[in-house]
Each structure stands twice: as C-alpha cells, then as structure tokens.
Chain A
Amino acid sequence: MNKSAYFALLLALTAPALHAETPEEKGYAIAKETDRRDSGFGDSSNESLFILRNAQGEESIREFSTRTLEVPGDGDKELGIFLKPADVNGTAVLTFSHGLKPDDQWLFLPELKRVKRISSVNKSGPFVGTEFAFEDIASWEVDKYKYKYLRDEVLDGNDCFVVENTPAYEYSGYARQIEWVDKTIYQPRKIEFYDRKNTLLKTLTFSDYQQYLDRYWRASRLDMVNHQNGKSTTLNRSNYRFRNGFQDSDFSESALKNVQ
C-alpha cells in the first residue's frame, strides 16, 4: 500500500468522527445497512398475487410463484413461474441479477417447450400488464443506485429516513426515486417513482411486514398506484419459506424447462 492510499484509508475510517458525513455518504450508508441486514437468507420461496385495476376499477389477476437463491458477491438468482391467468400457466422467467452489469434473463414458453433469451434492455417495460415495471420487481442490489439522504420523517407513525435513489444502471425508466426507509427494520415503507421527465409517475407503498427466521423482513402487501394513467396494482405476497436447500442446479436451463 502506498502512502497516499494509506492516508485515504485512514481518512475514510476516521472521517465520521472528524466531520459530518455528506448526504451522499449517509444515503449510501443506509443502503449498505439495509443490504447487510438482509444478507445471509440463503434462499426463499413465495407466492405472489397481482391484482390489476384499471381506471374504471375493473380487476384482473396474475398469480406467480417465485424461488430465490442468494448468490454471495453477485445479484440473486430468481425463478418465477406463472400460474394464472390460465393461458400463461407454466410460463417461467429465470433471472440472474447482477449489480451494474445487465441482468441475464430467459423465458420458458410451455406451448413450444422453448427457452428464449430476453434482452436485458427492457427495464422500464410493464411486467405482465401490471403497473410494476421489470426494474421494480428485479432483485435489489446496492450498486444499482446512487444515494442521497434528504431528511428524517415520520410516515404513518414509523420513523423513516427519506433518501433519493438515482438509478446507476442503464435503460431505467426513472430519473429518480424518493424512498422512505424505516429506521427500525431498514426496509422501504414507500417509494415515489419519477419518470425520465422528472414528473411523479407512480407511488409504491409497502405494508403488513412480517419477520422471518427472526431477522428478515418481507412486506406482505405492495400497492403501486400510477398517477398518470389512473391504474393501480396490488401485490400480495404469501407463503414465504426460507432455507429450502435450493442449489445452483435449481436455477439452470434444465430447471427452467421442468418447472411444470
């Protein structure tokens, strides 16, 4: 280690004690703490029920089952299987998330038994007609955003940090997000999404948090409201199971072909 690097490290270690951290440093520290508290879960599975509502209030549903494998040092692997509506029953999506590097994603079409690669560019497109974009349901990684702490605020009785997240990955549909991070559980309570023109597009609220394995918090209900088209989607997540003993081979091409 050369001398300047040594002093830089020394400065970094002692900096919090010497001077107040910048809003960027504080925002990043909050994200790091969120990541630290959520790491080590190993694997999980759950069921998702999307309830789509159009501007007239008409509803339709999408049902999805998800398996997730934590990959140390990289983004998670995820296998999602459609159950409803019936015409897409058995369709499956396999995603290898990465930090800043584009995710790898494959789609399995049961009618043809065919696996298709999906372009990783499609971040901002809607996920199966819901108000959730692909990037909203993708696995969250610290490196995907630049952070800036804005203020403290009490939201519905929960003490929160308010942080501005700016996507650092390519092809995002958002200029920025404003996130309310619960100070107690280090999980989001609300996220506002601003489109590329920096106009408020959507608001996502997280509710009914449950704790699993005495450590990991998961919201059972997510409500996404689109302010521009009047549509909304509720996502109910249930049946969380952790440490199922999933392996890499459960997230392989042959696993994708045998989901049904």
Chain B
Amino acid sequence: MNIKVAIVAASFLTVSNIQAAEWSGFAALDLRLFAEPAAFAEQNTSFADPSVLVQPEFRQGWNNGADRFTAIPFGRYDSLDSNRSHWDLREFNWLHKGDGWNLQAGVGRLFWGVTESRHLVDIVNQADFVENINSEEKLGQPMLNLNIPTSYGNFNLLYLPYFRERTFPAANGRVRFELPVDTDNPNLNGISHFHPDWAMRWSRTFGDWDVGIAHFSGVGREPRLAPYFPDGSPFPTTLIPTYDLINQTSLDVQGALGNWLLKLEAMTRSGQGNRFAALVAGAEYTQYGIFESSAELGLLMEYQYDGRDTSTPRQASDAPPTPADNDVFLGTRLSLNDEQNTQLLLGVTVDLNTQATVVSFEGSRRLDDVWRIELESRLFKNIPSTDILTGMSQDDYVQIRLARFF
C-alpha cells in the first residue's frame, strides 16, 4: 500500500513539471489634493492626502500550466482616513484547467459587464468603496468558480460561501456621505456571513454581438444605509449598512459594428423594497488615426435608468439610494497609441431630474519600462441635498499616482 502511494507520488512528481514561480505587481504613491476645505467637523482638515499602496502578485504553475496557484495581497496606508488604511487578499486561489472546463477555488475576482459609467450587472465581488467610488476596485471573494466553455456558449457557475461587507470612508475621511457609515455595526438582518450565495452566467458570441445572462442569489453587495438615531435623538449621527437577501437577474449585450460599440446592461432585483429594474444603455464611437496621427478618439454616451423607489420620506425597507436613476453620461477617450501608452478619459454624468453633475477624469502615461504616472480627478457640481452624493459636494479632488511595476 505504502509502496503504491510512493510510486504514485513519484510518478506525479516526475510528470508534474513545476514551473518557475513568478513575482510581479506594483507599488505606488498617491497624492490626493482637495480643492475646498472639508465640509464636516469630524473630517481631517488637510488639503493634501498622501498615501502609499502595494499589490504584489505571486503565481506558481505546475502540471504544464494545467494547475496554478495565485496570491495577490493588497495594502494601503492613508494619512487622512483611518478606514482607507486597510489591506485585503485580492486573490488567493488554485486554478485547475481540466478537459473542457476549469475550476478556480479560493479567493478570486471577476468582472461582468460592458458599460463605462456604471457597473450594474457586476455583482459577485464586493466594492472596495474606500478605494474608489467608481466600484472598479473590489474585495477578494471566496468562491468556487467553474467555467465550462462549450459551442453553446460559456457556462459560469459560482458558489460563494462567505459574504464580505462593503468598505466605506471613516468619519475623518473625505469623499464620503453626509453621515459616516458605521462599518463596525452592520445590520445583516440575522443573515450569517457564511450564507451560501450562488450565481451563474451564460455568455455567448453571435457574430458581432456578445451576450450574457446572469442570475445571483444571496446577500446583496449593495447595502441600504439606515440612519441611526442615538438614544431617541431626532438627529441621526451615522448610517448603518444594512444587508438583505436578494435575487438579481441581468442581461449584458455588446455589439461591434464598424466604428461603433453598442452596449447594454440591464437587471431586475428583488429583496430590497419592491422589485425594481435598472439599465445602462449607450454607445461608443471611435475614430482611428485622427489628424493623420496614430491617435484614436472615442466618444461615449450612456443613459442610466434605475426604477428603485425614490419616494420621500424614505422607508427603512427601501432599496439602497442611487445617484444613477435618470442620468446621462457623456465622455471622450483619447489614446495616443504611442510608446508611452498615453490614455485620457474625460466623463460627465448629469442627473436629468436635478442637474447634479459629476465630472471624472482619468489619465495615464508610461514613463519608462517600470514607472507609470496616472492622474485622476472627480468634481461634484450642483449636488442637491436629496442626492446621496451631497456629502461629497466639497470634495472635488485631483489625484496623482506614481506607480512602480515589478
């Protein structure tokens, strides 16, 4: 018996072909500069918010690449916001590629969706909201992630055994809501963090069109924010993040027709107030080789609709507030296609009901083989007191990032 095991183990080792471990990742220095003084007394009064972040990546493959272990920790130290100083395991998983299927087990990240201005159908990973309000930075999610590519499309089945709460800025941080979110006292409505969530997605390409249909069942990643009134006080002091069991079904479609990319994300959700639907629909037009150069210029337009109940006064059971209920996003993307990979994206989102306006800018340029400089800015204009973003009205910022890649 033992001999048999030894033979099996020996033969496994000889065929397993362990490849060299691979280290990569980046470290960066962020400098956020605010244009106005802080709006709230608890907030740090500094106009400059320097912070450092690091994200090393480790990969080890074996079995001729059929198996791979990945570890990607992330950490940030922020000088202003005590919640923004945090660390996370973005990835810590084992990927096995089988014959016609692959399975990822452990902590992972994935992205669903096609639109630029809002990520409506991207529901598996929790947003690392303290990192960026654009929901593009996300926490690692424990998962079993099975993919089966077939001639009828790709079938993606996910078992999500542990729920992670959203991160929010601390009371002393900037770019936060009018009331700080009390992340130490979440309300999970009695749901265990170990609630077995699941999701599935089918996606397929039909000629110029990519289509995805997905369903998620479990603890909704987007919390309601319930005002907390201490000891019968008429004035709330904090917001309690309140999580619910939801079911969300979504559709995402993208078509590539000549210079046009057509995009649609739509979803319907139950479990937070009345069932509601939301969508983002739009297009991107790209002109290549502008002004007889190698540069390309893209024009983006997207419409955001969200049918969740917005009547006032709000009920505790209402769906989480969203600024994207009836908004238009217009943007322009410039890629120089040069050696430095210079890219700029300028976007403006305007609420058609209130004219609340958020301007965002992202730019990046490679300095040499290992250094890159990035610029990010967000401006909050004309935000009415009824808008969830009203607390950020005085938080217009410009951020410079200097990143070193390994």
Q: Which residues of A contact B (CB under 8 A)?
A: 52, 54, 60-61, 84-90, 102, 104, 112-122, 124-126, 128-129, 171, 173, 247-249, 252-255, 257-258, 260
**Shortest Cβ gap from A197 to chain B (Å):** 10
Once the chains are docked, how many angstroms separate the CA of A260 from the CA of B60? 10
**Interface residue tally for chain B (C-beta within 8 Å):** 48
Contact of B372 among A87, A102, A124 (CB under 8 A): A87
Contact flags B151-176 to A (C-beta < 8 A → 1, else 0): 10010100000000000000000000
In the complex, 5 of the A-B residue pairs with CB atoms within 8 angstroms, ordered by the A residue number, are: A86-B406, A117-B261, A125-B296, A171-B288, A173-B289
Q: How many A-B residue pairs have CB under 8 A?
A: 104
- Asked if B403 and A87 make an inter-chain contact with CB atoms under 8 angstroms apart, the answer reads yes
Once the chains are docked, how many angstroms separate the CA of A254 from the CA of B70? 17
Which of chain A's residues have a CB closer than 8 A to the CB of B203?
253
**Shortest Cβ gap from A256 to chain B (Å):** 10
Which of chain B's residues have a CB closer than 8 A to the CB of A84?
369
- Asked if A124 and B288 make an inter-chain contact with CB atoms under 8 angstroms apart, the answer reads yes
Interface status of B370 (Cβ within 8 A of chain A):
yes
Which of chain A's residues have a CB closer than 8 A to the CB of B114?
116-117
- Asked if B210 and A117 make an inter-chain contact with CB atoms under 8 angstroms apart, the answer reads yes
- Of chain A, the residue at the smallest CB distance from B371 is A87
Interface status of B259 (Cβ within 8 A of chain A):
yes
Which of chain A's residues have a CB closer than 8 A to the CB of B100?
247, 249
- Asked if B337 and A117 make an inter-chain contact with CB atoms under 8 angstroms apart, the answer reads no
**Shortest Cβ gap from B270 to chain A (Å):** 27
**Shortest Cβ gap from A105 to chain B (Å):** 8
- Asked if B111 and A114 make an inter-chain contact with CB atoms under 8 angstroms apart, the answer reads yes
Which of chain B's residues have a CB closer than 8 A to the CB of A116?
114
Interface status of B256 (Cβ within 8 A of chain A):
yes
Contact of B289 among A118, A120, A124 (CB under 8 A): A124
B244-268 residues at the A interface, CB under 8 angstroms: 254, 256, 258-261
Provided the pairs A60-B369, A125-B296 are in contact, do residues A89 and B286 lie with their beta carbons within 8 angstroms? no
- Asked if B288 and A87 make an inter-chain contact with CB atoms under 8 angstroms apart, the answer reads no
- Asked if A126 and B136 make an inter-chain contact with CB atoms under 8 angstroms apart, the answer reads no
Stretch from B219-227, B338-346, B391-399 at the A interface? B338-346
Contact flags B365-394 to A (C-beta < 8 A → 1, else 0): 010111010000000000000000000000
Contact of B59 among A112, A113, A260 (CB under 8 A): A260
**Shortest Cβ gap from B293 to chain A (Å):** 10
- Asked if B339 and A60 make an inter-chain contact with CB atoms under 8 angstroms apart, the answer reads yes
**Shortest Cβ gap from B363 to chain A (Å):** 14
Once the chains are docked, how many angstroms separate the CA of A248 from the CA of B340? 34
Which of chain B's residues have a CB closer than 8 A to the CB of A54?
339
Which of chain B's residues have a CB closer than 8 A to the CB of A104?
205, 208, 256
Once the chains are docked, how many angstroms separate the CA of A86 from the CA of B154? 30
Known: A104-B256, A126-B294, A129-B337. 7 other contacts (CB 8 A): A52-B339, A102-B208, A114-B113, A117-B256, A117-B261, A119-B259, A125-B294
**Shortest Cβ gap from B340 to chain A (Å):** 7
Interface status of B147 (Cβ within 8 A of chain A):
yes
B201-242 residues at the A interface, CB under 8 angstroms: 203, 205, 208, 210
Contact flags B34-50 to A (C-beta < 8 A → 1, else 0): 00000000000000000
B67-107 residues at the A interface, CB under 8 angstroms: 70, 95, 97, 100, 102, 104
Interface status of B405 (Cβ within 8 A of chain A):
yes
Contact of B337 among A119, A125, A173, A253 (CB under 8 A): A125
